[in-house]
Chains A and B, each alone.
Chain A
Amino acid sequence: MDAVPGQFIMVWVPGVDEFPMSLSYIGRRFGITYQVVGEGTRALSEMKKGDRVGIRGPYGKGFELAGRRILMVAGGTGIAALGSLVEQAARSVSTDLILGARKKEELLFEGRCRRTAASVLISTDDGSKGFHGLATELAMEILLKKKVDSIYACGPEKMISGLLDMTSDKPVRIQASLERIMKCGIGVCDSCAIDGKHVCTDGPVFRDRELRALSDLGEFKRDHSGRRIPV
């Protein structure tokens, strides 16, 4: 399998469901990292070593490294999509990573990221570790102190729209991975539509003007039946 950071695969848990997952490890071995959020991930968590899942992919557009000073912002499980990008980026460019979570128990991949040359900053909403506040607030502090060429983000949509807002008047490039309910994964069913774009084929990583043109970003998403609901 040939994949770039930010791409995803469709994971089939036989007898249960199929859902998209970011590739959290890319290279000699591939991996996914999940949080139990529904029936599918619960079934995944109950599988034993040697049980089989089906996969198809990789799909979609991934991240593209650009710039010499980059800032990565990962909120919660968003680090799954950014993990292998941190490893790649830190080898060649100056990389700051904000690893954000609601509380310290929910921080993921801290050790993995600290083993790279990236400078890792922790933020927790409850202040249980590192910066006390939102990842976006910490990002703002960094942007005020440092010159940043590009931001790479994955996490809650409000975090992404926050980053877009704070960089709207700055010469900073931004790439962010978005999430929507996804059924086919191949650009036909329209379930992952956002303002006429499709997260499965136009994304999941969108950039700059593309992101700023999405009026539903941070505001509305669609449920399984296609109803427009608040994010």
Chain B
Amino acid sequence: MADLAVEVCGLRLRNPTMLAAGVLDETGRSMLEVAKAGAGAIVTKSIGREPREGHAGPCVVELDYGLLNAMGLPNPGMRLYSEEIRTAKKARIPIIGSVFGSTASEIAELAALMESSGVDAVELNLSCPHAEGYGAELGSTPEMVEQVCCEARRRTDIPLLAKLTPNTSSIAELAKAAERGKADAIVAINTLKGMAIDPETRRPILGNRFGGLSGPAVKPVGVRCVYEIFEAVRIPVIGAGGIGCGRDAIEYIMAGARAVQIGTAVWTHGPGVFGKVSKEIGQFMSSNGFRSVEELVGVAHPGQH
């Protein structure tokens, strides 16, 4: 029987699947349901200092090959959200608090508040492509990524995950900057900035006009990014982008990911996707003679297979 448990920067996961930030994680009870459905860890909604309503709709555009979204970082604010974390912690799997902010010091302050709310790790959202002044606008240069990680590091003792944007010329440079800033792991990728226009009404569909593309369409981009990051840094990498089955996860793991995040596939498969992907990873490992996930990490790189 293949062992699905993995350890990522001190976090012990019963299997390599994690809920990605932004999906079914605004409320503690929903996070419990995702845990029940088999996730190995949960990343919370991205939380800011104050309550935020998010963008006017439409917030999503359903495509044949993925999803375009511009939620606009809706969240109840850190103070109230700690109640949801308290509920989510009953799941007894690692809970990773995602935070966003408009300056390095604001993000660092939120990371500290997240830590006191009892999460097991903090994910720095340096990559949301659809909220002006936050996320990707902050995380698209190595200098800013390093600064944010550094400041957050100074104020937090638990593991820090830096979630990076693919909307940049070199994601490997961003990853190196996060490593210099003492982040404990890299998460790649967040969504690709995109847009959809309705020909009948001649308008952009999303209320925010621009949004982030996720789902099957972005998987090759994500796999490539993880592969590049794996060669550029020594800290662990967590893969995300278009994972909906075991083989998708295996691709990311072979590119160098120690764990994977799943978001958009919840739309097409429901929360049961976590159990399904873990099971399929296990089946692949068994039929190919792998005993631990560890043995698969990065095997697609030259000299590693």
**In the complex with contacts A10-B58, A222-B27, A54-B74 CB distance below 8 A:** no
Q: How far is the CB of B89 from chain A (nearest CB, A)?
A: 15
Q: Are B29 and A188 interface neighbours, CB within 8 A?
A: no
Distance of A198 Cα from B34 Cα, bound (Å): 12
**In the complex with contacts A196-B30, A226-B45, A186-B62 CB distance below 8 A:** yes
Q: List the B residue with the shortest CB-CB distance to A39.
A: B56
**Which of the 9-residue segments B75-83, B120-128, B177-185 touches chain A?**
B75-83
Across-interface contacts of B203 in A (CB, < 8 A):
14-15
**In the complex with contacts A190-B26, A224-B74, A14-B201 CB distance below 8 A:** yes
**Would you call the interface of chain B mostly helix, strand, loop, or mixed?**
loop
Count chain B residues whose beta carbon lies closer than 8 angstroms to a beta carbon of A. 42
**Which of the 9-residue segments B111-119, B261-269, B288-296 touches chain A?**
B261-269
**Which of the 9-residue segments B46-54, B93-101, B135-143, B166-174 touches chain A?**
B46-54
Q: Which of B135-192 contact A (CB under 8 A)?
A: none
Instruction: Answer whether residue B207 sits at the interface, using C-beta atoms and an 8 A cutoff.
Output: yes
Could you give, for residues 12-26 of chain B, a 1 whenever the CB lies within 8 Å of some chain A CB and a 0 otherwise?
000000000011111
Q: Are B26 and A189 interface neighbours, CB within 8 A?
A: yes
**Which of the 9-residue segments A16-24, A131-139, A144-152, A158-166 touches chain B?**
A16-24
Q: Are B29 and A193 interface neighbours, CB within 8 A?
A: yes
Q: Are B266 and A187 interface neighbours, CB within 8 A?
A: yes
Across-interface contacts of B263 in A (CB, < 8 A):
188
Distance of A184 Cα from B30 Cα, bound (Å): 15
Across-interface contacts of B200 in A (CB, < 8 A):
52, 54
Instruction: Answer whether residue B57 sits at the interface, using C-beta atoms and an 8 A cutoff.
Output: yes
Distance of A7 Cα from B2 Cα, bound (Å): 43
Instruction: Answer whether residue A209 sits at the interface, using C-beta atoms and an 8 A cutoff.
Output: no
Distance of A14 Cα from B52 Cα, bound (Å): 23
B24, B26, B62, B201: the one contacting A226 at CB < 8 Å is: B26
Q: Are B24 and A188 interface neighbours, CB within 8 A?
A: yes
Q: Are B58 and A18 interface neighbours, CB within 8 A?
A: yes
Q: Are A188 and B74 interface neighbours, CB within 8 A?
A: no
Known: A184-B267, A225-B52, A228-B83. 4 other contacts (CB 8 A): A187-B24, A190-B30, A193-B26, A193-B30
Chain A contact residues, CB within 8 Å of chain B: 10, 12, 14-19, 52, 54, 56, 183-191, 193, 195-196, 198, 201, 222-228
